[in-house]
């Protein structure tokens, strides 16, 4: 039986299982929708509407959006698209069209957007409306059904996440030049693992690669369901990460989470 939000979230031993949605429904469970600046990726700094979907089946040690694991309300695709258009209205003039397309950008994030089947038609509708659509995904789910116009920002989970075994390696052959692969790095072991994956799979020849340092969680972000960092890991500072990248001449872009520089790192809706 579905709960009042129209979905059933199975939790066992602190791990959230797949969202069970009525595939005939035209709804999604949404945590929040807001307009801010894109804080990450090659498009950092541009105005962006974020659609944060509820639920994730991973519990990365550094996750800073654990509130999206279970908090959310069911919304129809029409209402979601309507809210996006409302937030985008001030940018409707042709003067707001830049080399990336019409502003603002629209990003689906989470949680894990690909846990909800109706994320796919939502992205298609947003692309049809002319938006530049980004998808931020954990890399644990099949990315091939995603509309080809969407720019996919896919994680490869490093060892300190506690979820390295969840990487879906079958996704790699389907990456395109417009996609981006992100490594979130907090330890020496993460760095060496990421460097090995780049070399082994020649990822730098496929798409843009991002190294993002693990920012320490604030007290209110420390959810008990998150996985612990595996024992034996050696912490790596942000400066040490940058210096290693330069010393090793890695073909990778270092990124800072811009929104955490501008606003408090635990502030929502930014």
In this prediction, residues 53-70 reach a mean pLDDT of 97
CA distance 9 to 57: 10
CA distance 35 to 49: 4
Entry pTM:
0.90
Count of CB atoms situated within 10 Å of the CB of 150: 23
Percent of the chain topping pLDDT 90: 82
Total domains in the fold of the chain = 1
Note whether residue 13 is domain-resident. no
What does the mean pLDDT of the chain come to? 90
In this prediction, residues 101-106 reach a mean pLDDT of 90
Specify the pairing of strand 73-76 against strand 27-37: antiparallel
Note whether residue 94 is domain-resident. yes
What crossing angle do the helices spanning 119-128 and 77-88 adopt, rounded to 10°? 40
Residue 90 is encoded by which pair of tokens? 């001030």
| pLDDT band per the 50, 70, 90 thresholds, residue 101 | confident
In this prediction, residues 96-109 reach a mean pLDDT of 84
Residue 18 pLDDT: 42
Cα dihedral sign for 80, 81, 86, 87? positive
Note whether residue 231 is domain-resident. yes
Note whether residue 16 is domain-resident. no
Whose CA is closest to 54, among 85, 87, 80? 80
Note whether residue 57 is domain-resident. yes
In this prediction, residues 223-251 reach a mean pLDDT of 97
pLDDT at 8 over 60: no
pLDDT at 32 over 90: yes
Residue 113 belongs to domain spanning: 26-262
Note whether residue 117 is domain-resident. yes
Q: Picking from 2-6, 71-75, 118-122, 127-131, which range would have the lowest pLDDT averaged per residue?
A: 2-6
Q: What is the CATH number of the domain that holds 210?
A: 3.20.20.70
Q: 133-185, pLDDT tens digit by residue? A: 999 999 999 999 999 999 999 999 999 999 999 999 999 999 999 999 999 99
Most distant CA atoms of the chain, gap in Å: 56
In this prediction, residues 266-270 reach a mean pLDDT of 89
What distances in angstroms separate CA 144 from CA 52, 100, 149, 172, one per listed residue? 21, 23, 12, 10
Q: Higher pLDDT residue, 19 or 2? A: 19
Note whether residue 7 is domain-resident. no
């Amino acid at each position: 039986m579905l709960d009042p939000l129209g979905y059933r979230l199975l939790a066992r031993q602190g791990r959230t299982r797949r969202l069970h949605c009525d595939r005939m429904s035209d709804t999604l469970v949404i945590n929040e929708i807001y307009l801010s600046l894109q804080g990450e990726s090659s498009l950092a700094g541009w105005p962006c509407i974020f659609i944060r979907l509820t639920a994730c089946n991973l519990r990365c040690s550094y996750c800073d959006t654990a509130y999206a694991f279970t908090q959310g309300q069911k919304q129809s695709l029409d209402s979601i698209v309507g809210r996006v258009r409302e937030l985008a209205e001030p940018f409707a003039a042709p003067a707001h069209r830049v080399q990336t397309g019409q502003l603002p950008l629209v990003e689906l994030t989470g949680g894990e957007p690909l846990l909800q089947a109706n994320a796919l038609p939502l992205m298609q509708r947003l692309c049809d409306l002319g938006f530049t659509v980004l998808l931020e995904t954990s890399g644990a789910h099949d990315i091939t059904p995603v509309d080809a116009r969407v720019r996919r920002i896919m994680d490869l989970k490093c060892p300190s996440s506690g979820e390295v075994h969840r990487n879906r390696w079958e996704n790699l052959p389907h990456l395109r030049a417009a996609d981006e692969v992100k490594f979130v790095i907090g330890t020496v072991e993460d760095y060496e693992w990421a460097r090995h994956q780049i070399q082994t799979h020649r990822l730098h020849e496929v798409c843009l690669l991002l190294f993002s340092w693990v920012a320490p969680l604030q007290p209110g972000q420390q959810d008990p369901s998150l996985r612990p960092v595996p024992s034996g890991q050696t912490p790596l500072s942000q400066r040490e990460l940058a210096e290693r990248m330069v010393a090793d001449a890695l073909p990778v872009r270092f990124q800072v989470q811009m929104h955490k520089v501008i606003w408090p790192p635990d502030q929502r809706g930014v």
